Structure 1
Amino acid sequence: MNKRRAQYYIFTIFSLWFGSTFSCNATAVNRVDQIQVVTEPLPPYQIVKEGEVQGLVAEKVRKLLRELGSDSHTRAMPWARAYKTALTEPGTLIFSMVRTPAREELFHWLGVLVSTKTYLIALKKRDNIKLNDLEGLINYKTGVKRDDVVFHYLSKKDVLSKAILLPDTITTVKMLLRGRVDIIAASPIHLDYMCSQIGCKSSDFQFLLELDELSSDFYLAANKHMSPELVDLITNKLKKLAN
């Protein structure tokens, strides 16, 4: 192969590679406008005020959308509906999602937005409630948010025989304060915020048991059928924002 032919061959290969890469990136960019974003009210991470989703994590997602050049807005809804939407509708992003083995193959996991811990808690004045392990839950009315990670986790452990399914986390706290349930799951951060809204104090509660088997990372996740190019684009943008 002479020098001119070798140069032509190299130029052709490079052009094909560059064209393919540019095409993939262009395709991903074109699909940015097809993104929809769903979440639930989860103070202080996601707070709905005058129809707008605000809060620590919501702001991170808003910055990400700006970086992507997307004018999509986050819609807040009950968790069960948000989860079903992300599970069934291509182009959907969802937050804040805990990553578990049961969910692993159902979504693309794009990156961690925030970390927290979850405990089973009861009212401090209920000194008759004793919980040494998860099996003890079968003796109490447990308030759980429908279809959230705690619900799935405790269901698998077969300890929700007296479960009361509720629409959101703040309702579980209210039900606990009213004595309608004996035990709920919450993180200290959530509890502090919710008490600031409804007039309780974190000292009103006792922390019974940490659910340490659950991931403490809250993720941004995507519908499983989102294109690989768009998944890569969002993942890379999120990594840059975290640095």
Structure 2
Amino acid sequence: MLIFSIARTKDREKLFHWIGSISTLKGHIWTLKEHSHVKINTIDDANQYSIAVTREDSTHHYLKHNNIDQNLDLYLTTTNKQNIEMLFSKRIDLIIATDAMIKTHVESSDLQYELLKKVFTFNPNEFQLYIAMSKSTSPLLVRALKPLLKKYKTN
């Protein structure tokens, strides 16, 4: 089975055959502008605040690897839309999202994008989208696809 696209994380590393990177994700930590008390200079600073992420999403995996999953104010949801709604209803202080994801969900929910602010931006190398294949895929097929992706990316 081909998966297009999936964020490559340490938790997922051994679960798939990784064909190759197709793009980077510019992820941010967001809060409401009125939350002037929120200050984040490093990912560790997020431990001071309540945060919502989608369960088993790449952002959840990232927080786990940075020990933020130990935060008692970490809320695991089933959708990104829930995270945004929790932020706007002031049930949490922070969410993690890309610009595109935020804009899409905010606009579809009749919320105001202008009320949000970015308080931290991740290194793009920390969140990359890949083409992957399930572990049950033939190794011959995996080896055949890797050079095809490289060739496509150079054209």
TM-score, normalised by the number of residues in structure 2:
0.83
Q: Which residue of structure 1 lines up, in the alignment, with residue 29 of structure 2? A: 120
Shift of 1:226: 1.2
Structure 2 counterpart SS, 1:129 = coil
Q: Which residue of structure 1 lines up, in the alignment, with residue 110 of structure 2? A: 199
Q: Which residue of structure 1 lines up, in the alignment, with residue 57 of structure 2? A: 148
Structure 1 counterpart SS, 2:132 = strand
Asked if the contact 1:98–1:215 (Cα under 8 Å) also holds between the matched residues in 2, the reply is no
**Higher-strand-fraction structure:** 2
- Asked if 1:163 corresponds to 2:83, the answer is no
Q: Which residue of structure 1 lines up, in the alignment, with residue 6 of structure 2? A: 97
Q: Which residue of structure 1 lines up, in the alignment, with residue 40 of structure 2? A: 131
Structure 2 counterpart SS, 1:190 = helix
Could you list the per-position Cα deviations for residues 126-177 of structure 1 after superposition, in whole angstroms to 9, with x for gaps in the alignment?
1122222222222211101111121112112212311100112222111111
Asked if the contact 1:124–1:204 (Cα under 8 Å) also holds between the matched residues in 2, the reply is yes
Structure 1 counterpart SS, 2:13 = coil
- Asked if 1:210 corresponds to 2:101, the answer is no
Distance in 1, Cα, partners of 2:77 & 2:121: 21
Change in 2 beyond 3 A, CA 1:216/1:136: closer
Q: Which residue of structure 2 lines up, in the alignment, with residue 83 of structure 1? A: none
**Higher-helix-fraction structure:** 1
Shift of 1:238: 4.3
Distance in 1, Cα, partners of 2:67 & 2:11: 15
Distance in 1, Cα, partners of 2:147 & 2:112: 40
Asked if the contact 1:100–1:214 (Cα under 8 Å) also holds between the matched residues in 2, the reply is no
Distance in 1, Cα, partners of 2:110 & 2:35: 19
Change in 2 beyond 3 A, CA 1:107/1:146: same
Q: Which of residues 2, 20, 24 in structure 2 aligns to 1:111?
A: 20
**One-letter amino acid matched to 1:171:** Q
Indicate the structure (1 or 2) with the bigger Cα radius of gyration. 1
Give the gaps of 5 or more residues in structure 2.
none
TM-score, normalised by the number of residues in structure 1:
0.56
Give the gaps of 5 or more residues in structure 1.
1-91
Q: Which residue of structure 1 lines up, in the alignment, with residue 98 of structure 2? A: 187
Q: Which residue of structure 2 lines up, in the alignment, with residue 177 of structure 1? A: 88
Shift of 1:201: 3.6
Count of paired positions: 152
- Report 1 or 2 for greater relative contact order, CA contacts < 8 Å, sequence distance ≥ 6: 2
The two structures, once aligned, show a CA RMSD in angstroms of 2.2
Asked if the contact 1:121–1:206 (Cα under 8 Å) also holds between the matched residues in 2, the reply is yes
Asked if the contact 2:30–2:94 (Cα under 8 Å) also holds between the matched residues in 1, the reply is yes
Q: Which of residues 131, 143, 147 in structure 2 aligns to 1:232?
A: 143
**One-letter amino acid matched to 2:54:** K
Shift of 1:220: 1.6
Distance in 1, Cα, partners of 2:150 & 2:41: 40
Asked if the contact 2:15–2:135 (Cα under 8 Å) also holds between the matched residues in 1, the reply is yes
